Chain A
Amino acid sequence: MNNSEILFVYDAHMCNPNGDPDEENRPRMDNPTQTNLVSDVRLKRYIRDYLQENGYELYVQKGEAGKTVNASERIQAALGQKKAAKLGDEDLQNLLNKLIDVRLFGATMPIKLEGKGQSIAFTGPVQFNWGYSLNRVYLLDTKSITSHFSSEAGKEQGTIGKDYRVKYSLIAFHGIISGYNAKNTGLKKEDVALLDQALVKAIPLHATRSKVGQEPRLYIRVEYNSDSFVLGDLRKWVKFSPQGTNKDDEVFSVQNVKLDITALVEKMQEHKAKIQQVKFWKDGALSLVGALDALPNGSPLTF
């Protein structure tokens, strides 16, 4: 498989893109620069949830309510076995064929193979960097919220927590698909197509209380013609500027966003001999400077 690089931009309006569990669940921030942060794990979670909701079997997945399935049981279930048994190379292939999240993101599994110790680690070919906001982000004053869940069993009153939200954050992620690593997990072309789809579709479907107000805005996947070349972090060539206001704190919605990808298009043109194809998708509400059609071998994503 060839290498790919991904640029994925989504926005968050009056919600909490990724809370820091040790900071009263405040949105993750780099405070000196007012940059909002989102972990790679948060993004992978959207993808896993999307795949599970669409009927794909996963290794790391939410179990049925009240039922925990440990990793060994999970592996046995995926292989259709009732009891733990020593696994051979063929079983390993079957597991990879069944579990798309392992093919994409890798996993450590408690599998005993001859001479290979107590567990097997698959390095995932798909890796995302942490996402960061392209604009300065302002947090809204919090109100206390109450929960029906008490802190301890037997207590009558619920707990009180804080509810921090960002005013508006335009978040950019960079991702890499390593063709060289893809061999180890058996990543398929169909999996990559599904990843394209999941990134564009998953976030609006994940409309929990803290995540309502998030929309995907731009997705570009550059597929190179080898498994050994990448340009490295496509966000270098993307520029944000506010639209309809000069003040950062008046950037309140996608209407106030202008994204300039001219430098990215030029960079791709410069390296077009190394590019097999570019898949792209753009939300209609986003103002873009620079034409997606001008990306070499570019074609819009269709689902």
Chain B
Amino acid sequence: MNSHFLAFDWKGFMAHFRQFDANSSALSYSFPPPTVVAGMLAGVLGIEKDEYYERFNRSNLQIAVQIVTPPRKLVQTLNYIFAKSANDLNMSGDNLHTQIPAELLVAPTFPQAPLHYRIFVKTAEAKLAGELEEALRQPKFRYLPYLGSAPFTSWIEWLGVPETIQQLASTEPAIVDTVAPLAALELRSLRMEALDGILPAFFREHVRRDFLPGREPGEVIDVVWERNRGRIKAQFKEPVYRWQLNQQTFHVVFM
């Protein structure tokens, strides 16, 4: 079966991607995990909540994220309505508010520049690829895209479909531009090796890969990303794709 590929930039001034295992503090991932991107794409096409999980499952749609500008986190405490039941949601409870610390993401040079993520999509379904391209190219949205949470409005800049795409041989080390699943790396192949004179700073996050039908939680994976250059040099045992897109080359591994 042929695969279909497309890419776009996703930008906005602030973001919040709540970590699924955070409790009373609303901690944020530094990038949109695959569930967030899938939800946003489903929303753009107007597919209702709880109706897209099967079609947007990893077996049909794969997502890779490049962190173009490494975000900065800032903590702001939010006054939430203190509700012990839905009956208190109009601020009628005894204690009106509860304070929730929330991590918000901004670009290093906020507010001069926005946050910037580059999203790569691979799907086995030609119809879905066509619908996404039509929606993102124009752009033409049903539900508007938010960076993780409704107060963080965002915009999308279409990049295109790759001119060429090539799967690299797994016998050579590769330098990828995207967040990579740890399981995609050969054991002990990640090196603290300077790229262009800059030492890498690796971070690990624990993300959910997808939802299963009925909003059943899917597999949880560990991923690694690099803050200084956004590039990871390692030996990969999962496919690394070389994209030629608008005269640029990207090395992409899907989450």
Residues of A within 8 A of B (CB): 3, 20-23, 28, 30-33, 35, 37, 39-41, 59-61, 63, 68-74, 107-110, 118-119, 123-124, 127-130, 132, 134, 174-176, 178, 180-181, 226, 228-233, 235-236
Contacts and interface: CB of A to CB of B under 8 A. Distances in A.
B226 to A, nearest CB: 22
Contacts of B141: 180, 228-230
A20 B143 contact: no
B89 A176 contact: no
B88 A178 contact: no
B153 A20 contact: no
B143 A181 contact: yes
B130 interface: no
Contacts of B143: 178, 180-181
B87 A228 contact: no
Contacts of A69: 90, 92
Contact of A59 (B87, B90, B111, B152): B90
Contacts of A23: 77
B77 A20 contact: yes
B147 to A, nearest CB: 10
8 contacts: A39-B151, A73-B92, A107-B90, A129-B151, A132-B13, A231-B155, A232-B154, A233-B13
Contacts of B14: 129-130
Given A22-B101, A176-B144, A229-B139, A32 B72 contact: yes
B184 interface: no
B216 to A, nearest CB: 17
A127 B155 contact: no
Interface residues of B, number: 45
Interface in B4-61: 11-14, 46
Interface string B106-123: 100111001000000000
B153 A180 contact: no
A228 B187 CA distance: 47
A70 B151 contact: no
Contacts of A230: 141, 144, 155
Contacts of B109: 33
A55 B113 CA distance: 41
A74 B90 contact: yes
A85 B141 CA distance: 38
Nearest to A74: B90
Interface of B: 11-14, 46, 72, 74, 76-79, 85-94, 97, 99, 101, 104, 106, 109-111, 114, 138-144, 146, 150-156
Given A33-B111, A70-B90, A110-B86, A228 B142 contact: yes
A30 B106 contact: yes
A21 B152 contact: no
A30 B74 contact: yes
Contact of B91 (A60, A109, A181, A232): A60
B87 A110 contact: yes
B151 A130 contact: yes
B78 A41 contact: yes
Nearest to A108: B89
A23 B74 CA distance: 13
A71 B88 contact: yes
Contacts of A134: 111
B87 A22 contact: no
B77 A233 contact: no
Given A70-B92, A71-B88, A110-B89, A174 B153 contact: yes
B150 A21 contact: no
A68 B94 CA distance: 8
B111 to A, nearest CB: 5
A130 B106 CA distance: 11
A109 B88 CA distance: 9
B88 A28 contact: no
Given A70-B92, A127-B150, A176-B144, 17 more contacts: A3-B144, A21-B99, A33-B109, A35-B110, A39-B76, A60-B89, A60-B90, A69-B90, A71-B86, A107-B90, A128-B151, A129-B12, A180-B141, A232-B11, A232-B154, A233-B12, A235-B111
A175 B153 CA distance: 8
Closest 9 CB pairs of A and B: A232-B155, A22-B77, A110-B86, A40-B151, A119-B86, A70-B92, A228-B140, A71-B90, A70-B87
Contacts of A110: 85-87, 89
